[in-house]
């Protein structure tokens, strides 16, 4: 590990421009892009477009999606878009491991393109019969010639009587949209089933993006304060690749000075060297990058000669930053954060601090409350699937009321209208609820709103987790399920110690159902004797003190 990284307590380079899926920051734009791409893959064939300016993260997002692609989807990933038709077809066949005839004499004078298309069609039919889908991904698609695009359109015609056999994802710069808008390509343009244009990060996302990458690289706290982030956003326009370049050079310069946190001045100087300066009026500016490099090399050589043989034994330097705790459902907010009567109803504030806390997504934060160590999650579908993998269930209400949240009494994810007027809703983890206030967690820490403020900005969507027993999801009178009946009687005994076990031979009898009906009536539930989700949730809540709860005091 380099001494430069040790200085900041990092395990790896945080701002490499290599499109590493492990560093993808799931901004709202990225989540929407994933949703659009998934929608396109769920359709029966056709073209999917992902466009964006240079450096906005298209390739990183694409590789992340491919890394998480289900096993039944085969992928042909074509990086070189400046191919002729025959080379493109050969590349696709090679990616899909399609064997072409070894003896071209057997093809009786057919063109190589025809040979490839016939072999591809045969392979696609076989894959379709096996329940598999096939996706072709082409990077830098703005470079594709009209001939190539027409060939791809013809490939999209490969089909059975009821199904298209190919999905084609084109990833490119905005010029691709202009190309497809041409009249001669209108047939292809009309076959685009899903399209998304990836935008640069907004100001809040820049802060989260920087700290997300630092966290993934092993940082224990933030290295760029709010003033740095403001400068960074102004000079890079929120383009991730430019952010990476400026941040990397800023860290190098900071290391050369011996400091542990980056200053806004160093960010500005790094940006001038990398991006250029329109305001420069003379040649008196210092050659910042060269000076930084010389300082870094000098420092490394001095340390190397002075501590030769002991570098690997030196402890990592302590990072002198403000402590940053992960959001906790049990953490009480300070009195200064209580909302005043005339506060803005929309969430648009961050706790005052000189260093930014590391990003935690609402999905990941919610899993953490259930002791589930989850990686980045980009969609509700992935969240639900991961919940099932951990013996949990995800439920979502689309028109919930506050009393619904009180009855369920589980932390969850809610979507809030931003104060900026942007139509894109932002997800927060709903961490607590009492008689007067609502507590939300996001990347900036915890926010406390009055109930009225929350109601004025909440979309009414509410996603939460619950834990069904191992043996069943629903239990009705007459069902024979020894494990389920035993679990039910155990829970009833914990809730009411006077409850006596009934011998039923493993069957859910009317006698046990009568106890359940009484329990449901006492709890304000539908008293029908059916042990379903609401009854299970309430039993868990009363019988298991480890279950995460939403309500902080009796209402």
Domain ranges, ordered by start, for the chain: 28-198, 201-313, 335-466, 482-543
Per-residue burial over 181-212, b = 16 or more CB atoms within 10 Å of its CB, e = otherwise: eeeeeeebbebebbbbbbbbbbebbbbbbbbb
Question: Would you state the pLDDT for residue 40?
Answer: 82
User: For residues 470, 474, 478 and 483, what is the CA-based torsion angle, rounded to 10 degrees?
Assistant: 10
CB atoms within 10 A of CB 297: 11
Q: How far apart are CA 173 and CA 139, in angstroms?
A: 10
| Burial of 450 from C-beta contacts in 10 A (0-12 / 13-18 / 19+) | middle
Paired tokens of 339: 């909302």
Question: Would you state the pLDDT for residue 324?
Answer: 26
Q: How far apart are CA 102 and CA 104, in angstroms?
A: 6
In this structure, are residues 127 and 134 in contact, taking their beta carbons and an 8 Å threshold? yes
The CATH number assigned to the domain with range 482-543 reads 1.10.101.10
List, as own/partner pairs, every contact residues 298-301 make where C-beta atoms lie below 8 angstroms and the sequence separation is at least 24, other chains included: 299/3, 299/255, 299/256, 300/3, 300/4
Q: How far apart are CA 106 and CA 341, in angstroms?
A: 84
In this structure, are residues 508 and 476 in contact, taking their beta carbons and an 8 Å threshold? yes
How does the average pLDDT of the chain come out, rounded? 80
Tell me the C-alpha to C-alpha distance, in Å, between residue 441 and each of 122, 223, 354, 359, 415: 53, 21, 19, 11, 12
Q: What predicted TM-score, i.e. pTM, was given to this entire model?
A: 0.56
Question: Would you state the pLDDT for residue 346?
Answer: 47
Q: How far apart are CA 117 and CA 92, in angstroms?
A: 10
The architecture CATH gives domain 335-466: Alpha-Beta Complex (3.90)
**DSSP class of 287:** -
Q: How far apart are CA 327 and CA 446, in angstroms?
A: 7
Q: Is 427 helix (H, G, I), strand (E, B) or coil?
A: strand
In this structure, are residues 210 and 229 in contact, taking their beta carbons and an 8 Å threshold? yes
Pick from 320, 322, 319: nearest CA to 353: 322
Question: Would you state the pLDDT for residue 376?
Answer: 64
Q: What superfamily in CATH does domain 28-198 come from?
A: P-loop containing nucleotide triphosphate hydrolases (3.40.50.300)
Please give the chain's pLDDT, 555 residues, in tens.
Answer: 578 888 898 999 999 888 888 888 877 778 788 888 888 888 777 899 999 999 998 998 888 888 888 888 999 999 988 889 999 999 999 999 998 877 654 556 678 888 899 899 999 999 988 888 899 999 999 999 999 999 999 998 888 877 788 999 999 999 998 889 888 898 998 888 888 888 899 887 898 899 889 988 888 888 998 899 999 999 999 999 999 999 999 999 999 888 989 999 999 988 888 876 543 333 434 444 444 444 444 444 443 433 333 323 222 222 221 222 333 333 333 333 333 333 344 444 333 333 444 446 788 889 989 988 876 666 677 788 788 888 899 999 988 999 999 989 999 999 888 776 666 678 899 999 988 999 998 766 788 999 999 999 999 999 999 998 987 888 999 999 999 999 999 999 998 888 888 888 889 999 999 999 999 999 889 999 999 999 999 999 888 888 999 987 544
Question: Would you state the pLDDT for residue 476?
Answer: 92
Q: Residue 433 forms beta bridges with which residues?
A: 438, 551
Q: How far apart are CA 294 and CA 296, in angstroms?
A: 5
In this structure, are residues 140 and 81 in contact, taking their beta carbons and an 8 Å threshold? yes
């Amino acid at each position: 590990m380099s001494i430069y990284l040790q200085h900041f307590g990092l395990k790896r380079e945080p701002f490499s421009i290599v499109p590493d899926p492990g560093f993808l920051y799931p901004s709202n734009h990225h989540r929407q892009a994933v949703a659009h791409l998934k929608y396109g893959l769920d359709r029966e064939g056709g073209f999917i477009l992902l466009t964006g300016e240079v450096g906005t993260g298209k390739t990183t997002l694409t590789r992340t999606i491919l890394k998480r692609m289900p096993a039944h989807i085969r992928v042909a990933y074509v990086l070189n878009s400046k191919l002729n038709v025959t080379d493109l077809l050969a590349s696709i066949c090679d990616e899909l491991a399609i064997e072409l005839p070894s003896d071209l004499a057997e093809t009786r004078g057919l063109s190589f393109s025809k040979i490839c298309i016939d072999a591809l069609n045969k392979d696609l039919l076989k894959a379709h019969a096996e329940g598999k889908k096939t996706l072709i991904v082409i990077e830098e698609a703005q470079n594709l010639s009209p001939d190539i695009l027409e060939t791809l359109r013809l490939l999209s015609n490969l089909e059975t009587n009821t199904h298209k056999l190919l999905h084609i994802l084109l990833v490119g710069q905005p010029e691709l949209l202009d190309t497809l808008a041409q009249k001669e390509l209108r047939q292809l343009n009309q076959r685009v089933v899903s399209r998304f244009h990836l935008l640069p990060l907004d100001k809040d996302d820049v802060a989260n993006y920087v700290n997300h990458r630092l966290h993934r690289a092993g940082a224990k706290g933030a290295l760029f304060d709010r003033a740095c982030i403001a400068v960074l956003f102004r000079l890079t326009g929120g383009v991730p690749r430019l952010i990476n370049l400026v941040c990397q050079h800023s860290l190098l310069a900071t290391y050369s000075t011996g400091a542990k946190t980056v200053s806004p001045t160093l960010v500005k100087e790094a940006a001038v060297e990398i991006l250029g300066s329109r305001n420069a009026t003379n040649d008196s500016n210092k050659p910042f990058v060269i000076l930084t490099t010389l300082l870094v090399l000098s420092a490394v050589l001095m340390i190397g000669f002075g501590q030769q043989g002991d570098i690997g034994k030196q402890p990592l330097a302590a990072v002198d930053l403000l402590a940053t705790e992960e959001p906790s459902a049990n953490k009480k907010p300070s009195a200064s954060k209580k909302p005043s009567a005339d506060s803005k109803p929309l969430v648009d504030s961050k706790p005052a601090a000189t260093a930014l806390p590391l990003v935690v997504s609402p999905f990941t934060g919610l899993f953490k409350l259930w002791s589930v160590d989850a990686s980045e999650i980009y969609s509700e579908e992935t969240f639900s699937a991961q919940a099932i993998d951990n013996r949990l269930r995800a439920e979502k209400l689309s028109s919930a009321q506050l009393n619904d949240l009180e009855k369920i009494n589980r932390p969850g994810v809610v979507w809030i209208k931003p104060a900026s007027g942007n139509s894109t809703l932002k997800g927060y983890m709903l961490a607590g609820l009492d008689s007067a206030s609502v507590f939300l967690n996001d990347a900036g820490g915890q926010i406390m709103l009055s109930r009225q403020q929350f109601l004025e900005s909440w979309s009414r969507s509410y996603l939460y987790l619950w834990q069904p027993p191992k043996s069943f999801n629903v239990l009705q009178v007459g069902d024979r399920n020894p494990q389920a009946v035993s679990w039910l009687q155990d829970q009833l005994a914990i809730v009411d110690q006077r409850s006596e076990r009934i011998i039923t031979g493993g069957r859910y009898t009317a006698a046990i159902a009568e106890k359940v009906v009484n329990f449901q009536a006492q709890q304000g539930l539908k008293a029908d004797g059916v042990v379903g989700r609401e009854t299970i949730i309430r039993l868990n809540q009363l019988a298991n003190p480890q279950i995460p709860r939403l309500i902080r005091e009796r209402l």
